[in-house]
């Protein structure tokens, strides 16, 4: 196989629909910018009709992208297509992605449509979308369980109506590689007008076969692959972009010289950013980007790798941006060395943000002897959660806690907001809970603690702790992140990020 494979990333739409992966507008734009830096050809920015928030996010991403195609999902309905067209109108390369279910199961029980009525709706929706946007993609939902002969008619109808991309989703992860490859080949060979459109695949991971099915579809003639970073998505998720790309790169002997525009050195950074934004950790055994992907504990494996890396590594850590070298900084390091290392780590900060990060670095350097790259990343990412220079946010001034195994914990917390300084105290079953209750009294807005997690960023007794907090109120769920060598301070900082987001919505 030779030629170009289009990478269609739906992290910001299908991926974000997974529980725990919701992002606010600023986070979506930040993630979209990194996806463009990674080199994705198309990004599905959202489902514009779903909510005003989704529509605003699609609009913001459409304005921010300089190269990537930006598309919005739309049901095969005029109102959906109108919302999508409005949301993507400022994109350099806009696309409308419209869909309807085509399997007998969905037609009979969900849509209550006959096959002929379904074809009429496809014809009208694609034609309507084509009049609103030069580039239209059509998806046949639950295609892998659709009668193959009818699926051929569906694809022909969509192409005749103006679709330039026909997507074949394995919506519920039901198919197998051999079966899916045969289906794609049949469509590629039999559908009239297929030479005028791009055949695409979108596979889910319910049986753990999303990547295998996607690669089988590509071998059979598909030239667009729909995927997400780290395979996130509804239920068990989608095909993982990094696994598809590195599969093609590593096994050129099998797949041929099928090129993508992906900068593989940006893969690890992109996965890390997604984890940072959502607060969902990357599984250690995750292929390509997991912490254990290039780790070797077995003595036999270690000996082999030291003798020749290829004995147990089929790709290099550097090829996906998993750099192993770390520059150790300390309290005597100057701002120039600090800024140089931050840039080497891939961050392009404004002078104001760089100054804030350097100040945080100096505070940390007084608390621990050596600061590694992982500490620096944690400092920068935690700082990104705060809106620099805002005087309308609560920030930590000081705290005092008193706790023991034969007494109720007490916490006295002082917060500042602009020129205001407010102090309050509370009891709790532990020092962190007491601190959170004191903050709740200060901000005068009740919330529920949905999740709390703390992880060590580095090793040893002076490790930097990374705290992830999720709270909720009647209007939504809000996440916060804080880092400190003091777990109570880190917890308060994380909670304040979430609280400020909650109050901003209010």
Provide DSSP, 383-405: HHTS-TT-SSS-EEEEEEEEEET
Same-domain pairing of 380 and 405: no
Distances (CA, A) of 255 to 3, 180, 211, 239, 311: 11, 16, 14, 17, 22
Which range among 169-173, 417-421, 435-439 shows the weakest confidence by mean pLDDT? 417-421
Q: Would residue 389 count as lying in a domain? A: no
Provide the pLDDT confidence category of residue 388 given band limits of 50, 70 and 90. Answer: very low
Same-domain pairing of 412 and 378: no
Which range among 41-55, 200-214, 387-401 shows the weakest confidence by mean pLDDT? 387-401
The mean pLDDT value for 243-265 works out to 95
- This prediction has a pTM of 0.82
Query: What is the Cα–Cα distance from 207 to 190, expressed in whole angstroms?
Result: 28
Same-domain pairing of 33 and 170: yes
Q: Which residue has the higher pLDDT, 355 or 263?
A: 263
Q: Which residue has the higher pLDDT, 294 or 403?
A: 403
Mean pLDDT over the full length of the chain: 90
Same-domain pairing of 423 and 378: no
Q: Domain tally for the chain?
A: 3
Query: What is the Cα–Cα distance from 70 to 488, expressed in whole angstroms?
Result: 42
Same-domain pairing of 368 and 442: no
How many alpha carbons lie under 13 Å from residue 435 in its C-beta half-sphere?
24
Same-domain pairing of 48 and 195: yes
Query: What is the Cα–Cα distance from 68 to 24, expressed in whole angstroms?
Result: 21
Residue for token digits 């739409």? 13
pLDDT at residue 115 above 90? yes
Query: What is the Cα–Cα distance from 448 to 230, expressed in whole angstroms?
Result: 29
End-of-domain residue from the set 229, 247, 278:
278
Provide the pLDDT confidence category of residue 278 given band limits of 50, 70 and 90. Answer: confident
Query: What is the Cα–Cα distance from 501 to 27, expressed in whole angstroms?
Result: 12
Query: What is the Cα–Cα distance from 34 to 17, expressed in whole angstroms?
Result: 19
Same-domain pairing of 234 and 266: yes
The mean pLDDT value for 414-426 works out to 94
Query: What is the Cα–Cα distance from 119 to 117, expressed in whole angstroms?
Result: 5
Expressed in angstroms, the distance from the first to the final Cα of the chain is 54
Provide the pLDDT confidence category of residue 389 given band limits of 50, 70 and 90. Answer: very low
Provide the pLDDT confidence category of residue 481 given band limits of 50, 70 and 90. Answer: confident
Q: Which domain holds residue 476?
A: 395-505
Same-domain pairing of 346 and 418: no
Same-domain pairing of 432 and 348: no
Residue 177 confidence (pLDDT): 98
DSSP conformation class of 111:
I
Q: Would residue 390 count as lying in a domain? A: no
């Amino acid at each position: 196989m030779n030629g170009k494979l289009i990478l269609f990333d739906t992290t910001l739409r299908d991926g974000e629909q997974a529980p725990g992966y919701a992002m606010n507008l600023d986070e979506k734009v930040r993630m979209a910018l990194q996806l463009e830096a990674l080199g994705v050809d198309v990004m599905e920015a959202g489902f514009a009709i779903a909510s005003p928030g989704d529509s605003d996010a699609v609009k913001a991403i459409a304005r921010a992208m300089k190269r990537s195609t930006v598309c919005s999902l739309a049901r095969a309905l005029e109102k959906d297509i109108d919302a999508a067209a409005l949301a993507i109108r400022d994109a350099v390369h806009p696309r409308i992605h419209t869909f309807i279910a085509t399997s007998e199961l969905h037609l009979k029980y969900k849509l209550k449509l006959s096959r002929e009525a379904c074809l009429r709706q496809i014809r009208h929706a694609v034609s309507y979308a084509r009049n609103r946007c030069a580039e239209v993609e059509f998806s046949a939902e639950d295609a892998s369980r659709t009668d193959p002969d009818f699926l051929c008619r569906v694809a022909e109808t969509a192409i005749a109506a103006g679709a330039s991309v026909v997507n074949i989703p394995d919506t519920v992860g039901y198919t197998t590689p051999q079966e899916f490859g045969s289906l794609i080949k049949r469509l590629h060979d039999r559908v009239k007008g297929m030479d005028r459109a791009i055949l695409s695949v979108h596979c889910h991971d319910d049986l753990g076969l999303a990547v295998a099915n996607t690669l089988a579809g590509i071998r059979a003639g598909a030239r667009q692959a729909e995927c997400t970073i780290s395979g996130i998505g509804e239920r068990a998720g989608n095909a993982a972009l990094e696994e598809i790309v590195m599969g093609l790169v590593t096994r050129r002997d099998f797949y041929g010289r099928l090129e993508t525009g992906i900068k593989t050195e940006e893969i690890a950074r992109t996965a890390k950013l997604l984890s940072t934004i959502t607060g969902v950790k990357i599984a250690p055994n995750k292929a390509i980007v997991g912490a254990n992907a290039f780790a070797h504990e077995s003595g036999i494996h270690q000996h082999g790798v030291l003798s020749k890396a290829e004995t147990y590594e089929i790709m290099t850590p550097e090829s996906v941006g998993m750099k192993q070298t770390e520059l150790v900084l300390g309290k005597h390091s100057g701002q120039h060395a600090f800024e140089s290392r931050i840039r080497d780590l891939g961050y392009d900060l404004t002078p104001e943000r760089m100054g804030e990060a350097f100040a945080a670095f100096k505070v940390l350097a007084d608390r621990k002897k050596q600061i590694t790259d992982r500490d620096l990343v944690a400092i920068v990412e935690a700082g990104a959660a705060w809106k620099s220079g805002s005087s309308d946010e609560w920030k930590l001034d000081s705290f005092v806690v008193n706790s023991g195994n034969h007494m109720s914990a007490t916490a006295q917390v002082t917060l500042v907001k602009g020129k205001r300084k407010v102090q309050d105290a509370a009891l709790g079953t532990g020092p962190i809970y007491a601190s959170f209750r004191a903050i709740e009294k200060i901000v005068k807005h009740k919330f529920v603690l949905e999740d709390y997690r703390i992880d060590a960023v580095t090793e040893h007794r002076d490790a930097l702790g990374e705290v992830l907090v999720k709270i909720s109120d009647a209007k939504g769920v809000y996440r916060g992140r804080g880092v400190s060598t003091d777990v109570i301070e880190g917890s308060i900082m994380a909670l304040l990020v979430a609280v400020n987001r909650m109050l901003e919505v209010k």
